[in-house]
Amino acid sequence: MNLRNIAIIAHVDHGKTTLVDALLAQSGVFRANEATVERAMDSNDQERERGITILAKCTSVLWNGKAGETRINIIDTPGHADFGGEVERILGMVDGCVILVDAEEGVMPQTKFVLGKALKLGLRPILCINKVDRAHADPDRVHNEAFDLFAAMGATDEQLDFPHIYASGRSGWATLDLNVPSDNLAPLFDLIVDHVPPPAVQAKVNEPFQMLAVLIESDPFLGRILTGRIAQGKATPGLAIKALNRDGQEIERGRITKVLAFRGLKRQPLDEGSEAGDIVAIAGLSKATVADTLCDMSLDTALPAQPIDPPTISMTVSVNDSPLAGREGSKVQSRVIRDRLLKEAESNVAIRVTESGEKDAFEVAGRGELQLGVLIENMRREGFEVAISRPRVVYQTDPETGERMEPIEDVMIDVDEEFTGVVIEKLSARKAELKDMAPSGAGKTRIQLKSPSRSLIGYQGEFLTDTRGSGVLNRVFSHYEAYKGPIEQQRKGVLVSNSDGETAAYALWNLEERGVMFVGAGEKTYMGMIIGENSRADDLDVNPMKAKQLTNVRASGKDEAIRLTPPRRPTLEQAIAYIEDDELVEVTPLNIRLRKKELNPSFRKKRQKED
């Protein structure tokens, strides 16, 4: 049987997962009476809630087209820059890629990032211009933009000769010519089979077994499961194998207990095993992890693993030591938190965990606030209680000059024309440099900037306020540059509780003129907890428990019901981006609270004087 391995790569929200849904449906994966879910590949709870892909996942379809029956292994990848580590490691498993570009939005920063990785590996790309049925779609402009991007990224002549196809993933059709209507995805299937070469490693089917582990997960019944493409030989249940690290040192020996192949949305065990070129998951080892080589006992050389871009942002995750600690979560000890973070770092190569100098605290470095926010949200749902610091950028030192280097990001912003002035003004104050600005149609302007990563920490909320919620900000790590100097932060002060107890509606009603509340009436608070944002620049210690003094005077209008403005409750990402260096976010399964690191106000003032 013919075999093809492809990855679907694109910027966030350009329709990858929806297109995979249509490919699965039209290849006969679902039975006629089977209920199908929208975005079937987004199986994780957070992926469904946020509407984005977080983890790279494998599926496989059988296509009976012009070239006969072909098995196509498809890898759906995340589009958000924070999860770029997922894309980097899976591209080594495939021989070609379908690069999806929105027919209205065109080429975006993450398109550039994923395309650069694919071209570097020598993959043969197919350009799919998706959503051509949108009102403001301009497929010809997007095709030219994509060609310019290929040329700018240093594509070879063979890669520049890429085929292109027009599609509507949601409607489930694709066509090579917009003047020739189509009602299915057969042209895309046939183009994949024609253009993507079969795995070259199929020729090594008679050599000893060897495979590079690319994805890792755990199963309650099978234990550790490692996914990768078989580089040579056959994987059969019962085969004795060993695991080698990148340096070729042996980690462990074991036997393959199960060979699982991707068949549609399910993984099926293969009794007779699988041959070189196929993407499979293997169970049976307990220590081997991502980037390790699984091989026959007779082999001693490790397969080269793709280098992963370094993390750019870090934050401290520590044990929750607030007065309300341990009341809502079941996992609160530093040992349990440490084990969970190390387990995450093992399966997610873009995250790095180190023990910090502080007691019971760990330094977690990743690609961005969203990636770290997703990790903390997962821990919160598992019953963990933790305290999190403000994100900091990961600096590097120039080996030649010894000067401090900071991460720089490419930023692309689409906003209504009336808001361009305020956006450019705010970002220029944060040391961003304007590269390009042009109208993008439908009354919108596209602004391209180069900005230090640290100036974007906490800016998303301010950006949405400035653009009345209509702006779209996309960013992707570009390179390291010399440190740009201090950036003035514009955040207002906060209202801090000065005692422990439950908030009173009367006290909050009186405090509303001071600023915006983060808590409602009848909620537990403690000394040092942040209960709102001050309308001025300085922090203010307030008493949110003060009750109304009762008297025996009954004047008209004296006892009117107190109506409070609903509190502004920050989400986890908003809270992480909002806090300052002397503050923490307390995360429990039931609540997200903001607090000062130093709870006692007299110690806080003393510390400010020392600083």
Binding residue ranges for GTP: 13-18, 130-133
In sequence order, which residues have a C-beta less than 8 Å from that of residue 541 and are 6 or more positions away?
496, 497, 498, 601
User: d(Cα 600, Cα 359) in Å, to the nearest integer?
Assistant: 19
Tally of CB atoms within 10 A around 182: 19
Whole-angstrom Cα distance, residue 338 to residue 357?
A: 14
- Strands, E assignment, 483-582: 494-497, 501-502, 515-517, 524-525, 529-534, 540-542
Render 421-442 in DSSP notation, one character per residue: HHHHHHHHHTT-EEEEEEEEET
Helix intervals (H) in 281-354: 334-347
One-character DSSP codes across 220-246: TTTEEEEEEEEEESEE-TT-EEEEE-T
Tokens of 195: 């253009």
Q: Which residues contact 491 (CB under 8 A, 6 or more apart)?
A: 458, 578, 580
Report residue 516 as tokens: 């915006």
Tokens of 303: 């397969």
Residues 6 or more apart from 592 whose CB is under 8 A from it? Answer: 569, 570, 571, 572, 575, 585, 586
Is residue 6 a contact partner of residue 229, using CB atoms and an 8 Å limit? Answer: no
For 499-596, where are the alpha helices, taking DSSP H only? Answer: 505-511, 572-578
Which DSSP letter does residue 519 get? -
Residues 6+ apart with CB under 8 A from 377: 46, 572
Rounded to whole angstroms, the Cα distance separating 416 from 246 reads 50
What residue has token string 């300085």? 538
Residue 508: CB atoms within 10 A of its CB come to 25
- Cα dihedral: 250, 256, 258, 262 (round 10): 50
Measured N-to-C along each axis, helices 334-347 and 369-381 cross at an angle, to the nearest 10 degrees, of: 130
63 Cβ contact partners less than 8 Å away, ≥ 6 residues apart: 27, 69, 70, 72, 189, 193
Q: Which of the 8 DSSP states describes residue 104? A: T
Alpha helix ranges (H) inside 252-401 = 334-347, 369-381
Closest CA to 205 of 264, 252, 284, 273: 273
Q: Which residue has the tokens 């196809």?
A: 165
- Residue numbering of the annotated binding site: 13-18, 130-133
Query: How remote is the C-alpha of 96 from its chain's centroid?
Result: 23
Give the dihedral of Cα atoms 112, 114, 119, 122; nearest 10 deg: -170
Instruction: Tally the residues of the chain.
Output: 611
Enclosing H/E stretch for 36: none
